[in-house]
Amino acid sequence: MIYASDLDMTLIFSRRSMTVPEHTPGISVVETVGGKSASFMSDAEMASLKKLSEQLVFVPVTTRTMEQYGRIEVFQQHIVPSYAVTSNGGNVLIGGEPDAHWSRLVRERLRGSACSPEEARRLFAPVVSPDWVLDERLCDELFYVYLMDRERMPLEAVRERADALAALGWELSVQGRKVYIVPSVVNKRDAVAYIRQRHPEAELIASGDSLLDRGLLESADYAVAPAHGELYRIYRETGQIGRWTFTERSGLFAGEEIVDFVWSRLEEQTGRKRLTDGRTGTRQGSN
């Protein structure tokens, strides 16, 4: 089986998103920036995910740039995956190195279906103002992220620009305090499908919290989302839910529940189960 998961607000959590104090017992720092703690996981989740990654193909999937992904110490030292997806699908890492073939495919798709990043930025620029945009970044030469004051965002004007961008092959997504402008062909679903070609018989489990994860979750055989984030907000406001289930818990400890969900699907499909000491075994009578 393959387990492909978003990272921020799904498996790892910032102070703002974890909803519990950082000194809560059983929580560890998994990322530091400038010598300061930046992201956290529960110790139970980390131990369970490490054991899980020894039983299936674990693929971190993130909108972070390659550089930002490299800061997450837990995935560089403690749980080191064979594959990773960064840049919202723009880069596939194999053995920690960018896959050149995938990069060429992405560039070819961009030339055939989307305007340039410069043109997309010009189209969005008329609504950008210091009144609500705090920072702007072009990520890995592929897409833009705007850090914002959400309460001041001119929602109707942004929606109008989203429609115009869509006509040029770009998608606009609001995620918490950020606005993403991303080419439609740069997405997590297609990048994971590319990795899946190397494991054609493997079923796919996926998890994620945001609109940028929706395509990946819809493409999976099994999917789970935490009870927070944009997907959960839409569910609470409209009652609409995709082909995934939500956790019972929200915040950092939802990560434990997500990993438990994956273990359950692995047990059902392969007969392998966790023993009390954290090792895996085989169900009696299974093949």
Q: What is the pLDDT of residues 6-57, one digit of tens each?
A: 999 999 999 999 999 989 999 999 999 999 999 999 999 999 999 999 999 9
Of the candidates 200, 272, 195, which has an alpha carbon nearest to the alpha carbon of residue 5?
Answer: 195
Three-state secondary-structure class, residue 18: helix
What's 179's domain CATH number?
A: 3.90.1070
169 φ/ψ angles, rounded to the nearest 5 degrees? 90, 20
pLDDT at 104 over 90: yes
Question: What is the per-residue pLDDT for 161?
Answer: 96
Q: Domain of 48?
A: 2-105+186-282
- How far is C-alpha 211 from the geometric centre of its chain's CA atoms? 10
| Element holding 40 (H helix, E strand) | strand 36-42
Question: What is the per-residue pLDDT for 273?
Answer: 67
Of the candidates 182, 232, 175, 237, which has an alpha carbon nearest to the alpha carbon of residue 207?
Answer: 232
pLDDT at 263 over 90: yes
If asked whether residues 7 and 36 sit together in one domain, one would say yes
What's 195's domain CATH number?
A: 3.40.50.1000
Please, what is the Cα angle at 101 between 96 and 105, to 5 degrees? Answer: 120
Of the candidates 45, 85, 285, which has an alpha carbon nearest to the alpha carbon of residue 191?
Answer: 85
If asked whether residues 79 and 190 sit together in one domain, one would say yes
Confidence band of 275 (pLDDT split at 50, 70, 90): low
Please provide the distance, in angstroms rounded to a whole number, between the alpha carbons at the two ends of the chain. Answer: 16
Token duo for residue 190: 């297609």
- Decide if 287 is inside a domain: no
Q: What is the pLDDT of residues 59-91, one digit of tens each?
A: 999 999 999 999 999 999 999 999 999 999 999
Q: Which amino acid is at 190?
A: D
Q: Distance between CA 176 and CA 13 in Å, rounded?
A: 13
**What are the strands, taking DSSP E only, across 61-191?**
83-86, 91-94, 97-98, 133-139, 143-148, 170-175, 178-183
Domain count for the chain, please give it.
2
